[in-house]
Amino acid sequence: MGAFDVEAPNWGRIPPVKVTGAAAAHPDGGVTLPTDAGPLRVALLDSGVRLRLGPDARDYGIVLREPAALAVRIEVVEGGTRLVAGERVLEIGHAPLSFALTVAGRAVQSSPGDGHFVRRFRVPPFARMGDAWLVSLELGHETPVYGLGEKWGRLDRRGQLVRSYNHDALGVNAEVSYKNAPFAWSPEGWGLFVHTVAPVVHGVGYAPWSQRAYVLKVDSPSLDLFVLDGASGAQILGQYTALTGRAPVPPLWSLGLILSKAYYRTAEEILAVAREVRERGMPCDTITFDGRAWQDTDTRFAFEWDPARYPDPRSVIEQLKELDFRICVWEYPLISVRNPLFEELAAKGWLLKDARTGEAYRYQWDLEPFGAVLTPLPESGLLDFTQPDAYAYWRDRHRELFELGVDMIKPDFGEQVEPYMVASDGAQGDDLHNVYALLYNRCVYEAASRYSEGGRSCSVGPPGRARSVTPRSGAVTRRPTGAASRRASAAACRGASPARRSMRRTWVASTATGAIRCCTCAGRRRPCSPPTCAFTALAPASPGPTARRRNGPPRRRSSCATACCRTCGERSRRRVRPDFRYSAPWRWPARTSPRPGPSTTSSSAARTCSSRLASTRPGACASISRTAIGAASRTAMHSRADARTSSCWRSTNWPCLRGAAPRFRSGPPCPTPASSARYPWWPRCGAPPE
Q: What is the pLDDT of residues 160-176, one digit of tens each?
A: 999 999 998 888 888 99
Q: Which of 199, 193, 211 is nearest to 162 (CA)?
A: 199
For residue 597, pLDDT beyond 50:
no
Gyration radius of the chain over CA positions: 30
Helix, strand, coil proportions of the chain in percent (round to 5)?
25, 25, 55
For residue 452, pLDDT beyond 80:
yes
Q: Rounded mean pLDDT of 208-225? A: 96
pLDDT of residue 376: 82
pLDDT of residue 562: 40
Q: Where are the alpha helices (DSSP H) in 296-339?
A: 313-322
For residue 361, pLDDT beyond 80:
yes
DSSP per residue over 499-568, as a string? HHHHHH--EEE-TTT--EEETTT--EEEESS---SS-B--PPP-SSHHHHHHHSS-HHHHGGGEEEETTT
Residue 298, phi then psi, degrees to nearest 5: -70, -25
What is the pTM assigned to this prediction? Answer: 0.70
Better-predicted residue by pLDDT, 671 or 198: 198
For residue 336, the surrounding DSSP H or E stretch is strand 334-336
Rounded distance between C-alpha atoms, residue 460 and residue 464, angstroms: 9
- Average pLDDT of the chain is 75
Give the N- to C-terminal CA distance of the chain in Å, as an integer: 49
3-class secondary-structure state, position 396: helix
Rounded distance between C-alpha atoms, residue 214 and residue 260, angstroms: 41
pLDDT of residue 210: 94
pLDDT of residue 399: 96
pLDDT of residue 528: 39
User: Model confidence at 551, in pLDDT bands (50, 70, 90)?
Assistant: very low
Rounded distance between C-alpha atoms, residue 181 and residue 137, angstroms: 18
pLDDT tens, residue by residue, 476-493: 444 333 333 333 333 333
Rounded distance between C-alpha atoms, residue 574 and residue 562, angstroms: 7
Give percent of the chain above pLDDT 90: 57
For residue 236, pLDDT beyond 90:
yes
DSSP per residue over 478-495, as a string? ----HHHHHHHHHHHHHH
pLDDT of residue 289: 95
Better-predicted residue by pLDDT, 459 or 6: 6
Better-predicted residue by pLDDT, 251 or 622: 251
pLDDT tens, residue by residue, 306-342: 999 999 999 999 999 999 999 999 999 999 999 999 9
Rounded distance between C-alpha atoms, residue 193 and residue 226, angstroms: 5
pLDDT of residue 512: 32
pLDDT of residue 199: 97
pLDDT of residue 555: 40
Better-predicted residue by pLDDT, 301 or 657: 301
For residue 205, the surrounding DSSP H or E stretch is none
Better-predicted residue by pLDDT, 225 or 465: 225
pLDDT of residue 144: 97
pLDDT tens, residue by residue, 258-293: 999 888 999 999 999 999 999 999 999 999 999 889
Q: Which of 260, 266, 227 is nearest to 137 (CA)?
A: 227
What domains are there in the chain, each with its CATH number? 11-244 (2.60.40.1760), 252-480 (3.20.20.80), 497-573 (no CATH), 606-678 (no CATH)
Q: Rounded mean pLDDT of 407-436? A: 96
pLDDT tens, residue by residue, 39-87: 999 999 999 999 999 999 999 999 999 999 999 999 999 999 999 999 9
Q: Are 158 and 141 in contact (CB under 8 A)?
A: no
Q: Which of 92, 95, 115 is nearest to 212 (CA)?
A: 115
Q: Are 179 and 216 in contact (CB under 8 A)?
A: no
3-class secondary-structure state, position 128: strand
Q: Return the minimum-mean-pLDDT range out of 96-100, 443-447, 491-495, 641-645.
A: 641-645
